[in-house]
Structures are given as structure tokens and as C-alpha cells.
């Protein structure tokens, strides 16, 4: 049976206490478990007139009298329902909520939402949620369901889900960092949307750090600073994207610091993203960095090939386009470092395929995407390449890059190489440490900090490092 399909409603009289049934045994057990987990009132209101439509191929169906029931159950009770059904019938992994064909009997009125809300968890049906999410500045496509989790994002994803689903999980602020196009904004929106779904009356605000700064300047100009403060300091959940943008903006940093403290003191959730770890954001006040670091920091890394393929499959399914598997594989192999670019390449291929009205071959795609592919290849700077270039510039042996020798004439170039590995490759701190003779990630962080501080002090160092960068990019 397809989701959303209508089916004829059962003829038998309805047993309001347990719902009428096709299969008395099955539904009896399911109803009992469900009633226990969601409470008698909620059960009666939403499942009182439901019927069991049977199960096949691991999918079960519950038939409800109207669309309101369908939406409400889908939004609020699917996990409980699936759990209850899987207790009764082994191997179930999905439940479809179907609207009976002659709906109209037992139809819930809109008042049922407000009447039901105080007794059950307050969650919103789809349409209302979309409106609230849009008002909060959230993109409807950026949900947890649409996010493909891989080894590169497992930890970050789990932390985001925890913040979204558990109150006072203690990750405050949650600081998501990682290179461009790796899904930071996507996850941040997903958090906001999930919180709104669970707690409709929550004041969620998403904005970019750039917007925060611009609004702040505008508020000063118009003498409306109090209004500005009230708005942001009274939010329950504040999501600020790309905080690296605060670098060098002293007054905005000051304002941000106070907003931040007010929210944290009130135990309101703050989520931040940045294209680099907090300690690597230049020209930013130390007190702000230590604030950023007082919660949980999670890193998004570029996805592995399997995850890249899974992302492409998911997108083609979402867009309802069919692209040959060999083409998807080709894209996943060629575009490695950035999901946004991967998506961009897929859009181009999909557009071409739909305009041409034919399926595209790998050969065709290679031609279609030659600029993407060339650029991608030129971006691949490796740790090994960096070590060689630094050793050459400082007249050292390559072995010194991984040795334990500590004279400054060796240690500092080695730190520069770690710093460059951090800024030019997508390797994690741990991987970088390993490539430098099995050092730990703390050593890499220390090296990066050291280079940043030396850049301020040593004349000519910046030019020297930039020359190495240029050489690597060639
Ligand atoms: P960032 O904020 O890190 O620069 P975005 O969150 O804007 O990156 O992601 C760029 C694009 O890639 C978005 O369209 C997003 O939906 C998509 N994307 C990134 N990671 C994933 C993922 N793991 N699964 C599905 N889509 C992803
Ligand atoms: Mg972003």
C-alpha cells in the first residue's frame, strides 16, 4: 500500500475504547501498549476511531477517519506507534497512516489540537510547523531526515540531535565547525526545526553572524538598540551561523558577548557555526573565544566516498530525477571536498539530462563538468606535499618533519607545516598529528596557535608562509 492512499473504511461498529479492528488480536495488543505510552486521553482522541489495516513486507498500516488525525499522528505519535506495533508483529519497520475513503465520520475539529496539547507533548502538524520555521528563518529542506550521516559527521550529527531533542543536555553553546559546504548550516537549521516541532511555543531565531552585525549597526544608527537587545536576548534558542565573521569587529563582538552571556545565564540554548575552530578565529577577543569553547565543539569533515554516493542518491530521490549509477559514482569520485559543490555538479548534470531528455553518459558528464573537475584537482593539497615544501623552504630534511628533535630551527618549521596542513587540507587534527610522527591533536592545536602568534611578531613570516602556499597551489 502506498503512503497517503485511501482505503475503504471498516463496516463493523467501532469500539471506542480500543479502536475498531480488522485483526482484533493485533490491534488489541498494539492499542494497549500505545495507550500506556501516550496516555488514555491522547489515545482516545487520536486512536479511538483508528483501525488496523494489516501488515506486509515489514510495513503496517493504521487507518484513521480524517486528514487531521493523519497529520497529527504522523507528527506526534509515529515512534510510539511503531514501537507498539513492532511489539505485536515482529519485523515491522514502518507504519503508514492512511485516511479512510469515506472520511467525515469522527473527524476531529481544529479545537482538538489545543484541547489535546496540554495533555500530550506539544507538537505541531506540518503546515503550522512550516510557518513557524519560516518565521524563524529556517530553510524547510534542511532537516535531519535530509541529512546523510557518515563517519565524517556522526558525532556532530549526534550532538545536534541531542541538543534538538533533549532539554538541558548541557552542550551550551554547541559549536559546529568545519570547512565550507560540509553541512554546518544544514544541521543548524535541522536543530531549529526539530525544536519547533517538539516545542511550538519556543522562540527560535536563526540568523547569520553577518546579519547580526548589520542589524546591530543599523540599530545604533536608528537609536533602537534596546529593541535589538530585547529581540535577541529574549530568544529561547539562538542559532548564529558563521561566527568567524565577527573577526575584527570589536563593537559587534562586545554586543555579541553580552547577548551570549544573557542567554547562557538564562539557560537558553545557543548554537554557533564557524568555518574553523574557535581558537583559530583571528582578531577576536579572548573572552569571546573562551565563551565559544565552554560548551561542546564538534567538527564536520569532508565525507568519505560511500557517504558522497549516499548523498547523491538521496538528492536524486528528493528531486525525483533518475541519473545513471555510473554517473553518480563518477561525481562522487571526482568531487571530494565539499558537498555544496557535489550538489552543484549534480544539479548541472540533472538539468542537462532533463533538457536533453536523455540519460547522460560518464563521458558526457566529464565534458559537462570539466571546470568543476579541474578546480577540484587543483584544490588537493596534501600533508605530504606541505611537509616537502616546508622542508625545502627551511632547508631541512623531510625526516625532520616527523622526528622528535626539538631545536627551534626544526620545531618551528614543523609547526608551520602543521598550521598549513590545518588550513589547506581537510584532514582532522588527529590525522595531522599522526602524519607528523604520531603526535596528538593537542600538539597540532598548540602549533597552530604558536604560528598565529608568531605571525604578529615576526616580520616577513607572513610573506614566507604565503609563498609556500602559492607553491603548493600551483
Ligand atoms: P556549510 O554551512 O558547512 O557551508 P551547508 O550546510 O550550506 O554547508 O551545506 C551545503 C549544501 O550541501 C546544502 O545544500 C546541504 O543541504 C548539503 N549537504 C551538506 N552535507 C550534507 C549531508 N550530509 N547530507 C545531505 N546534504 C548535505
Ligand atoms: Mg553555512
pLDDT tens readout for residues 85-123: 888 888 888 888 887 765 543 333 333 433 444 334 445
CATH of the domain at 436: 1.10.1750.10
Pocket perturbation via mutation, ligand 1, pick of 340, 342, 345 by most ligand atoms within 8 A of CB: 340
Q: Do 148 and 256 reside in the same domain of the chain?
A: yes
Q: How far is the CA of 387 from the centre of ligand 2 (A)?
A: 30
Q: Is the CB of 275 under 6 A from ligand 1?
A: no
Distances (CA, A) of 264 to 161, 193, 281: 19, 21, 21
Kindly give the number of the ligand 1 atom that is closest to the alpha carbon of 303: 23
Cell 568545519, residue? 178
Q: Which residue has the higher pLDDT, 287 or 98?
A: 287
pTM of the model: 0.62
Residue 418's contacts (CB-CB under 8 Å, 6 or more residues apart) are 432, 436, 443, 444, 447, 448, 451
Are 115 and 147 contained in the same domain?
no
> Which range scores top for mean pLDDT: 9-23, 103-117, 360-374?
360-374
Do 146 and 292 belong together in one domain?
yes
Nearest to 45 by CA among 6, 14, 19: 19
Question: What size, in residues, is the chain?
Answer: 474
Domain edge (last residue) among 361, 377, 393: 377
Q: Whose CA is nearest to atom 18 of ligand 1?
A: 183
Q: Are residues 92 and 239 in the same domain?
A: no
Calculate mean pLDDT across residues 312-338: 91
Which phi-psi region, left, alpha or beta, contains residue 23 (left: φ > 0; alpha: ψ -120 to 50)? beta
Of the three residues 234, 265, 300, the one that is the final residue of a domain is 300
What integer is the mean pLDDT of 22-41? Answer: 80
**What is the mean pLDDT of the segment spanning 375-386?**
82
CB contact at 8 A, 65 and 49:
yes
Q: What tens digit of pLDDT does each residue of 409-430 get?
A: 999 999 999 999 998 887 889 9
For 40-91, how does the pLDDT look when each residue is reduced to its tens digit (9 = 90+)?
A: 888 887 888 888 888 888 888 888 887 767 777 877 788 888 888 888 888 8
Q: Is 129 within a domain? A: no
- Ligand 1 atom with the smallest distance to the CA of 187 is 6
Structural domain contains residue 442: yes
Output 332 or 51, whichever has higher pLDDT: 332
CA of 213 to the centre of ligand 1 (A): 24
- In the DSSP assignment, the letter for residue 335 is -
Please count the structural domains in the chain. 4
- How many angstroms does the Cα of residue 308 sit away from the middle of ligand 1? 11
Tell me the average pLDDT across 154-181.
92
Q: Could you give the CA distance from residue 122 to residue 167 in angstroms, rounded to a whole number?
A: 14
Ligand whose nearest atom lies closest to the CA of 177: 1
Q: How far is the CA of 198 from the centre of ligand 1 (A)?
A: 23
For residues 346 and 313, the answer to whether their CB atoms sit within 8 Å is no
In a domain, 6, yes or no: no
Task: State in Å: Cα 187 to ligand 2 middle.
Answer: 9
In tens, the pLDDT along 207-224 reads 999 999 999 999 999 999
Closest CA to 322 of 351, 348, 359: 359
Instruction: Tell me which residue has its CA closest to atom 11 in ligand 1.
Output: 340
Same domain, 244 and 179: yes
Judge if 159 and 252 occupy the same domain: yes
Instruction: Report which ligand 1 atom has the smallest distance to the Cα of 242.
Output: 2
Q: Is 311 in the pocket of ligand 1 (CB under 6 A)?
A: yes
Beta bridge partners of 185: none
CATH number for position 331: 1.10.8.60
Q: Report DSSP letters for 202-257, one per residue.
A: --EEEEEHHHHHHHHHHHHHHT-HHHHHHHHHT-SEEEEE-GGGGTT-HHHHHHHH
* CATH number of residue 94's parent domain: 3.30.300.180
Average pLDDT taken over every residue of the chain? 85
Nearest atom of ligand 1 to the alpha carbon of 153: 23
Q: Which ligand is nearest to the CA of 190?
A: 1
CATH of residue 242? 3.40.50.300
Check pocket membership of 301 for ligand 1, CB cut-off 6 A. Answer: no
DSSP state of 403: S
Ligand 1 in contact with 433 (CB < 6 A)? no
187 and 287 share one domain: yes
* 416, 465: one domain: yes
Would you state the pLDDT for residue 23? Answer: 52
Whether residue 210 is found in the same domain as residue 336: no
Q: Within this chain, do residues 105 and 152 fall inside the same structural domain, yes or no?
A: no
Range of the domain at 441: 383-473
pLDDT at 156 over 90: yes
**How far apart (Å, rounded) are the C-alpha atoms in residues 421 and 306?**
24
Domain assignment present for residue 447? The answer is: yes
Kindly give the distance from the C-alpha atom of residue 195 to the centroid of ligand 2, in angstroms, as a whole number.
Answer: 19
> Do 172 and 208 belong to one domain?
yes
The one-character DSSP state at 4 is T
- Distance of alpha carbon 100 from alpha carbon 104, whole angstroms: 9
Cα–Cα distance between 268 and 172 in angstroms, integer? 8
Residue 473 confidence (pLDDT) above 50: yes
**Domain assignment present for 95:** yes
User: How many angstroms separate the alpha carbon of residue 181 from the centre of ligand 2?
Assistant: 7
- Note whether residue 64 is domain-resident: yes
Asked if residue 5 belongs to a domain, the reply is: no
In a domain, 127, yes or no: no
The response to whether residue 180 sits with its C-beta less than 6 Å from ligand 1 reads: yes
Distance 191 CA to ligand 2 centre (A): 14
pLDDT value of residue 107:
38
Which neighbouring-strand residues pair with 60? 55, 95
The pLDDT-based confidence of 24 (bands split at 50, 70, 90) is low
State the distance from the centre of ligand 1 to the C-alpha of 184, rounded, in angstroms: 7
Query: Does 181 sit in the ligand 1 pocket, CB within 6 Å?
Result: yes
pLDDT, tens digit, 9 for 90 and up, residues 176-195: 999 889 999 999 999 999 99
How many CA atoms, within 13 angstroms, populate the side-chain half-sphere of residue 200? Answer: 18
Give the angle 353-319-74 at the CA atoms, nearest 5°: 165
pLDDT at 124 over 70: no
Residue in the structure block whose three cell numbers are 475513503:
101
Report residue 94: phi and psi, to 5°.
-150, 145
Q: Given pLDDT bands bounded at 50, 70 and 90, which one contains residue 308? A: very high
* Mean pLDDT on 309-329: 93
99 lines ligand 1 (CB under 6 A): no
- Shared domain for 337 and 283, answered yes or no, is no
Q: Checking DSSP bridges between strand 103-106 and strand 59-64, what pairing results, if any?
A: unpaired
pLDDT at residue number 64: 84
- For 258-285, write each residue's pLDDT tens digit: 999 999 998 899 999 999 889 888 789 9
Among 239, 265, 300, residue at a domain's last position: 300
Amino acid at each position: 500500500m502506498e503512503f497517503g492512499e485511501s482505503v475503504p473504511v471498516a463496516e463493523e461498529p467501532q469500539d471506542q475504547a480500543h479502536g475498531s479492528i480488522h485483526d482484533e488480536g493485533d490491534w488489541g495488543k498494539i492499542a494497549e501498549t500505545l495507550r500506556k505510552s501516550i496516555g488514555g486521553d491522547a489515545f482516545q482522541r487520536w486512536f479511538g476511531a483508528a483501525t488496523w489495516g494489516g501488515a506486509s513486507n515489514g510495513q503496517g498500516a493504521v487507518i484513521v477517519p480524517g486528514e487531521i488525525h493523519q497529520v497529527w499522528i504522523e507528527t506526534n505519535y509515529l515512534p510510539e506507534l511503531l514501537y507498539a506495533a513492532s511489539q505485536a508483529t515482529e519485523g515491522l519497520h514502518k507504519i503508514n497512516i492512511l485516511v479512510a475513503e469515506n472520511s467525515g465520520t469522527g473527524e476531529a475539529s481544529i479545537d482538538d489540537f489545543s484541547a489535546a496539547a496540554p495533555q500530550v507533548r506539544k507538537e505541531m502538524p506540518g503546515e503550522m510547523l512550516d510557518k513557524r520555521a519560516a518565521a524563524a528563518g529556517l530553510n524547510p529542506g534542511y532537516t535531519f531526515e535530509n541529512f546523510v550521516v557518515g563517519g565524517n559527521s556522526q558525532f556532530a550529527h549526534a550532538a545536534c540531535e541531542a541538543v534538538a531533542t533533549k532539554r538541558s543536555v548541557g552542550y551550551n553553546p554547541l559549536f559546529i565547525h568545519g570547512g565550507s559546504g560540509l553541512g554546518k548550516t544544514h544541521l543548524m537549521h535541522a536543530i531549529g526545526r526539530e525544536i519547533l516541532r517538539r516545542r511550538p511555543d519556543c522562540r527560535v531565531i536563526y540568523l547569520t553572524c553577518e546579519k547580526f552585525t548589520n542589524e546591530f549597526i543599523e540599530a545604533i544608527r536608528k537609536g533602537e538598540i534596546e529593541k535589538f537587545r530585547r529581540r535577541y536576548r529574549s530568544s529561547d534558542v539562538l542559532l548564529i551561523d558563521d561566527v568567524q565573521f565577527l573577526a575584527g569587529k570589536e563593537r559587534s563582538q562586545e554586543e555579541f558577548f553580552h547577548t551570549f552571556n544573557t542567554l547562557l545565564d538564562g539557560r537558553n540554548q545557543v548554537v554557533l557555526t564557524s568555518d574553523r575552530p574557535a581558537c583559530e578565529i583571528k582578531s577576536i577577543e579572548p573572552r569571546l573565544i573562551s565563551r565559544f569553547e565552554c560548551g561542546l565543539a564538534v567538527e564536520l569533515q569532508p565525507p568519505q566516498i560511500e557517504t558522497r554516493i549516499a548523498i547523491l542518491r538521496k538528492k536524486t530521490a528528493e528531486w525525483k530525477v533518475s541519473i545513471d549509477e555510473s554517473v553518480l559514482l563518477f561525481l562522487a569520485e571526482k568531487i571530494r571536498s565539499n558537498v555544496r559543490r557535489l550538489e552543484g555538479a549534480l544539479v548541472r548534470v540533472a538539468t542537462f539530462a532533463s533538457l536533453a531528455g536523455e540519460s547522460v553518459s560518464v563521458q558526457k558528464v566529464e565534458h559537462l563538468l570539466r571546470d568543476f573537475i579541474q578546480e577540484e584537482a587543483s584544490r588537493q593539497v596534501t600533508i605530504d606535499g606541505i611537509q616537502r615544501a616546508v622542508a625545502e623552504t627551511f632547508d631541512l630534511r623531510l625526516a625532520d618533519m616527523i622526528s622528535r628533535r626539538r631545536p627551534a630551527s626544526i620545531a618551528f618549521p614543523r609547526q608551520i607545516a602543521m598550521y598549513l596542513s590545518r588550513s589547506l587540507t581537510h584532514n582532522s587534527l588527529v590525522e595531522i598529528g599522526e602524519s607528523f610522527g604520531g603526535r596528538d591533536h593537542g600538539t597540532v592545536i598548540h602549533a597552530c596557535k604558536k604560528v598565529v602568534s608568531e605571525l604578529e611578531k615576526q616580520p616577513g613570516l607572513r610573506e614566507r608562509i604565503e609563498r609556500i602556499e602559492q607553491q603548493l597551489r600551483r
